[in-house]
Structure 1
């Protein structure tokens, strides 16, 4: 499942939305399954052509709609996929505007139009750059030195059999797997790593995905960032710049749905 802000685990709801016209000007409404957003009063639905002079049909993209009127909350954002439309809703939610108000009440508030234009510009820029609007300063973070469970051979040679986050975890492993009972002369002991490790998390704010170790249960950690970057490329992470990478889930959802031209 994709991890996108606060709406990812909310069930879809059904609302009556305009889906076309009868005759020339009379709107036709139909129950429509929509995606709730972080902004009460705004939902995401499949976009469709609603102009009375255009043949009705889905466009294959997404629209951020005002529930009370069924009309777009902001202008169409060319090439915006589901991730970008959800971000637009999250940005509008943070403006302090009551989006459950009627369309007329919202239209009579000058600040609403100003904020909608600002959000439209922010998201449009992000679509052009194939990235989220909200990014962490860096995907890299340091992890305190971990604890190692070492196997001690009869001759005194030692080798690590597990790397753990806390001393308690390492102690529990040693107690649970005393190798002396199975391999006479062998023992287990605990020591701490000498250096902190680097780990990698998705650059999008609120995304909880971390680069995982494909041989262990948990995040990949290493003192050498080059090793982590190589594994990230193998797992499909995408570089945004020297400090930030997107996980495969976010990389997919924050790609333009159609070619987007730079501003001129």
Structure 2
């Protein structure tokens, strides 16, 4: 009888261990490697920006966590100070070199279920998550009688998306060898686009009105600026306030998009943004 008991005991124990391991596949600690050291060097470049100045090399090495968002995209998160984390979205090229698609810092990070505004949806397991670009990314929930789409970067409810007509774009990227030439951020340039919806009537040209140098000059002169675009095959029109920029390698401009509700600063390349809309100077009317 005892042998039979122990046989069943170890079988049950094995099943429990396997179940726990399955539950943890989405999150793991970053293993130390030469690639990790390159990443740490790149993150140290970010310390040229005061928002990232508290990044600690020991924390980078020991406390970076990685989440599998999709089969091709991974999210890395690094504690910066109390309540704040930095994040990177990375993918790999054909030679397995990691490419940085977007990055940022905030109190609430994108692509984490705790930003979903609907409490009931937040508790559910999504059917899938799609990361098509820093602009187009969403959870898909199957509620039985309906399919619900939730924005991955804001947690907001989306309309029923025509998935067959949505195509991923070839995103701009950085590598761990790139250098931050200049950084500028000013939270005083933030505002709520929802407080004045006149931007909804602006006809988008899908090309840049301002060039790289003009954008830098206007922001430094405290000119409020906004990015306005269409996404999901023009099913959704949206706007983000721009509060700064990072200039990489003297010629790659990443604009600082700020979400006041999430206290989240995201850096997205100007080139990627212009695939969806345009930059405008903004004065609340």
TM-score bin (small chain): under 0.3
Choose between structure 1 and 2: higher strand proportion: 2
* TM-score normalised by the chain length of structure 1: 0.24
Relative contact order higher in (CA < 8 Å, ≥ 6 apart) = 1
Bigger Rg, structure 1 or 2: 1
